[in-house]
């Protein structure tokens, strides 16, 4: 029996039906695609009865899609960075501007509980990423995710919100207005779940791999020891993507996840946007003039230890080891002080590792 070649719309619907088959997940879907040399080969094999073990394909209720659209993994517009991971979703459902998925993207994630420091660094890094043309990917959760989406939108950027559930039954309903803002600002909501799929907590971890897969690299701005952001970081690490984390003092519970990722070699330490954006450069002249006018106000908000360190750096540049020795600090505490001054816009790290006043 010779099968008749299927047209694209038929292949798209076949892909959705196949992805919904019991026992067919992201990994098995990819294996089937590889075995039969692409979706056309899979479709032909099914029509010829060579995939009888799958049983009868169910016909989805297409009306459930409503205003949603979808992309299949074999389509040209499917994000190439996501398609490159071994467990990429066979189908990506979305609402909004799918052109955003063609842009370079970076994942910015963290814990739902955020202190002032976490908010400050999340906003600073997100603005830097937007200024450098990145679309920002996050999970629409409260805390760091919300800050990343909001700051991206505020600075005229495009953001990608990845949901753990289908797009019609968001368990993060408290962020419904933000979801609307994401679409209104030219961003996009995405999910791998067909509408009506019953939500379970395991979908959060499944969602995290998509965030990691979309990102050119992943940034963790604040995360506790049990934060789901660690799953995203480890997924990105396993995919061979760069991972960065912002450190804090060893007594800061909300940042223990970041410190652990750095300690374990999963994430590289970042003390400023320059660490993750080697081609990034602030507008030094204009910002420098403004900083001199606000130095006193900024200094007043620093810890005593940070103020003392800043006075030392005003006299002469200093490196991390010198901070440890001169100020009798542990390495994490020294990093925390340098980060505090860097985030405040008072110092910067030079190419030779020295910290100097801006």
pTM for the whole structure: 0.76
**Statement to judge: residues 232 and 344 lie in one domain:** no
How many domains are contained in the chain? 3
Range of the domain at 163: 98-276
**Statement to judge: residues 180 and 263 lie in one domain:** yes
Give the distance between the most distant pair of CA atoms in the chain.
84
**Statement to judge: residues 296 and 348 lie in one domain:** yes
Q: What pLDDT, on a 0 to 100 scale, did the predictor assign at position 289?
A: 33
- List pLDDT tens digits, range 86-97: 999 999 999 999
Q: Is residue 183 part of a domain?
A: yes
Instruction: Tell me: pLDDT of 117 over 70.
Output: yes
Last residue of a domain, one of 259, 276, 293: 276
**Statement to judge: residues 122 and 266 lie in one domain:** yes
Question: Can you state the angle between helices 39-47 and 26-35, rounded to 10 degrees?
Answer: 80
Q: Which of 119 and 279 is assigned the larger pLDDT?
A: 119
Average pLDDT for the chain: 86
- List pLDDT tens digits, range 48-75: 888 878 777 878 888 888 778 999 999 9
Read off the pLDDT band of 315 (50, 70, 90): low
Q: What pLDDT, on a 0 to 100 scale, did the predictor assign at position 322?
A: 84
Q: Is residue 42 part of a domain?
A: yes
Give the span between the Cα atoms of 91 and 77, in whole angstroms: 12
Q: Is residue 342 part of a domain?
A: yes
Last residue of a domain, one of 276, 292, 309: 276
- List pLDDT tens digits, range 207-253: 999 999 999 999 999 999 888 899 999 999 999 999 999 999 888 88
The phi and psi torsions of 176 (rounded to 5 degrees) equal -60, -40
**Statement to judge: residues 22 and 104 lie in one domain:** no
Last residue of a domain, one of 276, 300, 318: 276
Q: Look at residue 305 and give its three-state secondary structure.
A: helix
Which CATH number covers residue 347? Answer: 1.10.10.10
Instruction: Tell me: pLDDT of 284 over 50.
Output: no
**Statement to judge: residues 244 and 292 lie in one domain:** no
**Statement to judge: residues 270 and 297 lie in one domain:** no
**Statement to judge: residues 337 and 309 lie in one domain:** yes
């Amino acid at each position: 029996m010779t099968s008749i070649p299927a047209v694209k719309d038929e292949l798209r619907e076949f892909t959705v039906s196949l992805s919904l088959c019991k026992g067919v997940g992201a990994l098995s879907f990819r294996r089937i695609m590889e075995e039969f040399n692409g979706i056309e080969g899979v479709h032909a094999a099914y029509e010829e009865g060579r995939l009888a073990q799958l049983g009868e394909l169910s016909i989805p209720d297409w009306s459930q899609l409503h205003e949603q659209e979808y992309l299949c993994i074999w389509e040209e517009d499917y994000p190439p960075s996501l398609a490159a991971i071994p467990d990429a979703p066979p189908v990506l459902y979305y609402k909004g501007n799918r052109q955003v998925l063609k842009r370079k993207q970076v994942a910015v994630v963290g814990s739902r509980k955020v202190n002032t420091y976490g908010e400050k660094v999340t906003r600073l890094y997100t603005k830097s990423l937007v200024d450098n043309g990145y679309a920002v990917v996050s999970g629409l959760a409260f805390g760091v995710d919300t800050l990343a989406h909001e700051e991206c939108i505020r600075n005229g950027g495009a953001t990608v919100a990845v949901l753990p559930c289908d797009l019609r039954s968001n368990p993060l309903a408290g962020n419904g207005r933000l979801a609307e803002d994401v679409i209104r600002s030219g961003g996009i909501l995405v999910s791998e779940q067909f509408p009506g799929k019953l939500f379970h907590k395991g979908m959060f971890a499944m969602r995290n791999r998509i965030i990691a897969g979309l990102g050119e690299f992943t940034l963790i701005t604040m995360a506790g020891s049990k934060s789901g952001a660690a799953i995203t970081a480890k997924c990105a690490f396993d995919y061979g993507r760069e991972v960065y984390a912002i450190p804090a003092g060893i007594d800061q519970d909300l940042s223990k996840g970041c410190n652990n990722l750095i300690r374990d070699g999963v994430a590289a330490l970042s003390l400023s946007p320059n660490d993750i954006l080697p081609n990034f450069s602030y507008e030094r002249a204009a910002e420098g003039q403004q900083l001199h006018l606000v130095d006193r106000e900024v200094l007043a908000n620093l810890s005593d230890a940070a103020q003392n360190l800043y006075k030392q750096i005003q006299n002469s540049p200093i490196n991390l080891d010198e901070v440890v020795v001169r100020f009798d600090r542990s390495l994490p505490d020294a990093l925390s002080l340098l980060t505090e001054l860097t985030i405040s816009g008072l110092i910067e790290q030079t190419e030779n590792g020295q910290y100097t006043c801006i």
